[in-house]
């Protein structure tokens, strides 16, 4: 039986025992929060040997990303990670040991009883507030900044993912590049789409997106393209717009449609390890939110990012901050076209596909160069583990 939080064990004090880590995740919307937390949990387990427990308040959303997760179980294990259904405010503090490292993801509020137990622990845990990814300049100034608790003698440290030096970086598994290099495109098309891979003159587009009023114009441009376009659409929030364009009642997994130069294929929602293959199979990737945005950068393919929309266009400066990193080094024409296309896809203008894709070779080269630059910051899990261990000494 787990030890009481009143007398919690000190894992890090014994070199023979692994670092214990608790990650708390509240699923706010879509799959971004749990997507990042699940990747982080797996990486800390497999690459750093940590004992990780992941507390999640919505196991149904989790199940979509990891089918091995049973939404009806209060406690279970998947891929070496203990998963707890975070179903009540006192659940964690009442029943579990306090870990060496506690990660409060994206501003979710830890149970008060758990925080109290953290403060009572003889050797205080490393308490990290994992923030959302941002490319803005101020992130480096706030990364690793401590924040004292107002009532307890314990600090919380802000840990910021980012695209520039002085930040926590972004998640990347050690095996990811090898997987990309070993990827078999033709086999993937046969397995996932049921047809041979398109010919070299076909532009393959993956479309993972929120609802977007710019989609109709873009579909029309692909339909009228002088060269073929193959569109791969994971089933989700954009599926209804695709169905309406083709005059179909729906566009669920397995559906196919064709109009002019455009052929569209609906794919099932895939678990995380399979999503990278979709990006590798395409020539350009439309991605959304945080998790798929990061995966698109490691895919070394041109991509278009749909940032999570906010009121009063508050998301646009964040979009521009990412562009400042990613577009740096592109020839002027390609850079201007990329910026305009990203803005249009995020509600500021109309996308110009021919004007954008004419710079395909420049965009492909930049995608490869950028992945190398980003890797120079170090991956988020590794950076987080290194910092935590320095605080546990």
Confidence of residue 29 (pLDDT cuts 50, 70, 90): low
Q: Note the pLDDT of residue 32.
A: 73
State the average pLDDT for the chain. Answer: 90
Return the higher-pLDDT residue of 222 and 9: 222
Q: Which two tokens stand for residue 37?
A: 């937390």
CA distances from 114 to 38, 97, 169 (A): 21, 9, 28
Q: What is the mean pLDDT of residues 58-75?
A: 88
Q: Does residue 392 have a pLDDT over 50?
A: yes
Tell me which of 84-98, 152-166, 370-384 is least confident: 84-98
Q: Does residue 7 have a pLDDT over 60?
A: no
122: which residues sit within 8 A by CB, 6+ positions away? 10
- Residue 176 phi, psi dihedral angles, 5° rounding: -65, -45
CA distances from 389 to 15, 282, 385 (A): 12, 39, 6
**Coil, helix or strand at residue 119:** helix
Q: Does residue 14 have a pLDDT over 80?
A: no
Q: How far apart are CA 216 and CA 267, in angstroms?
A: 20
Structure confidence by residue, pLDDT tens digits, 199-215:
999 999 999 999 999 99
| Percentage, residues of the chain above pLDDT 90 | 73
104 a catalytic residue: no
33 a catalytic residue: yes
Give the CATH number of domain 176-375; options: 3.40.50.2000, 3.40.47.10, 3.40.190.10, 3.40.50.970.
Answer: 3.40.50.2000
Q: Note the pLDDT of residue 153.
A: 87
Q: What is the mean pLDDT of residues 220-228?
A: 98
Confidence of residue 193 (pLDDT cuts 50, 70, 90): very high
State which of 31-35, 57-61, 325-329 shows the largest mean pLDDT.
325-329
Active-site position among 33, 58, 100, 104: 33
Q: Note the pLDDT of residue 2.
A: 33
| DSSP codes, 12-77 | TTSTTSPPEEEEEE---STTHHHHHHHHHHHHHHHTT--EEEEEES-HHHHHHH-TT--TT-SEEE
Q: Note the pLDDT of residue 95.
A: 47
The domain locations on the chain are: 20-172+378-392, 176-375
Alpha carbon distance, N-terminus to C-terminus of the chain: 28
**Coil, helix or strand at residue 86:** coil
Structure confidence by residue, pLDDT tens digits, 237-276:
999 999 999 999 999 999 999 999 999 999 998 778 899 9
Structure confidence by residue, pLDDT tens digits, 362-388:
999 999 999 999 999 999 999 999 999
Q: Does residue 234 have a pLDDT over 50?
A: yes
Q: How far apart are CA 319 and CA 2, in angstroms?
A: 45
Q: Note the pLDDT of residue 6.
A: 37
Active-site position among 57, 84, 290, 379: 290
Q: Does residue 8 have a pLDDT over 90?
A: no
Cβ atoms 24, 110 nearer than 8 A: yes
363-366, long-range: CB < 8 A, 24+ apart: 363/284, 363/302, 363/330, 363/334, 363/338, 364/301, 364/302, 366/302, 366/326, 366/327, 366/329, 366/330, 366/334
């Amino acid at each position: 039986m787990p030890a009481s939080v009143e007398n919690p064990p000190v894992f890090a004090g014994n070199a023979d025992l692994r670092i214990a880590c608790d990650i708390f995740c509240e699923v706010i919307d879509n799959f971004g929060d749990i997507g990042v937390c699940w990747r982080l949990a797996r990486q800390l387990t497999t690459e750093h040997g940590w004992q990780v427990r992941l507390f999640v308040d919505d196991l149904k959303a989790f199940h979509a990303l990891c089918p091995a997760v049973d939404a009806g179980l209060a406690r279970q294990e998947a891929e070496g990670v203990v998963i707890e259904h975070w179903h009540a405010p006192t659940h964690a503090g009442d029943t579990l040991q306090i870990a060496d490292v506690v990660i409060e993801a994206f501003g979710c509020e830890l149970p008060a009883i758990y925080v109290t137990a953290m403060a009572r622990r003889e050797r205080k845990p490393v308490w990290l507030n994992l923030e959302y990814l941002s490319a803005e300049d101020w992130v480096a100034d706030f990364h690793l900044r401590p924040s004292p608790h107002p009532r307890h003698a314990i600090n919380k440290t802000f840990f910021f993912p980012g695209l520039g030096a002085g930040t926590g970086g972004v998640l990347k598994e050690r095996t990811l590049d090898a997987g990309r290099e070993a990827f078999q495109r033709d086999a993937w098309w046969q397995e996932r789409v049921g047809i041979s891979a398109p010919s070299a003159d076909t532009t393959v587009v993956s479309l993972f997106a929120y609802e977007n009023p710019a989609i109709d114009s873009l579909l029309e441009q692909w339909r009228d393209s002088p060269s073929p376009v193959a569109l791969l659409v994971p089933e989700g929030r954009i599926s209804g717009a695709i169905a309406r364009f083709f005059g179909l009642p729906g566009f669920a997994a397995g559906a196919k449609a064709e109009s002019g130069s455009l052929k569209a294929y609906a794919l099932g929602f895939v678990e995380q390890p399979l999503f990278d293959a979709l990006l590798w199979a395409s020539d350009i990737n439309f991605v959304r939110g945080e998790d798929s945005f990061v995966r698109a950068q490691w895919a070394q393919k041109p991509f278009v990012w749909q940032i999570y929309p906010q009121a009063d266009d508050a998301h646009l400066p964040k979009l521009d901050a990412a562009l400042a990193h990613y577009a740096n080094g592109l020839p002027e024409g390609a850079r201007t076209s990329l910026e305009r296309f990203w803005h249009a896809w995020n509600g500021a203008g109309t996308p110009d596909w021919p004007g954008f894709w004419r710079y395909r070779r420049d965009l492909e080269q930049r995608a490869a160069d950028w992945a190398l630059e980003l890797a120079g910051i170090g991956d988020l899990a590794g950076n987080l583990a290194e910092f935590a261990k320095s605080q546990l000494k």
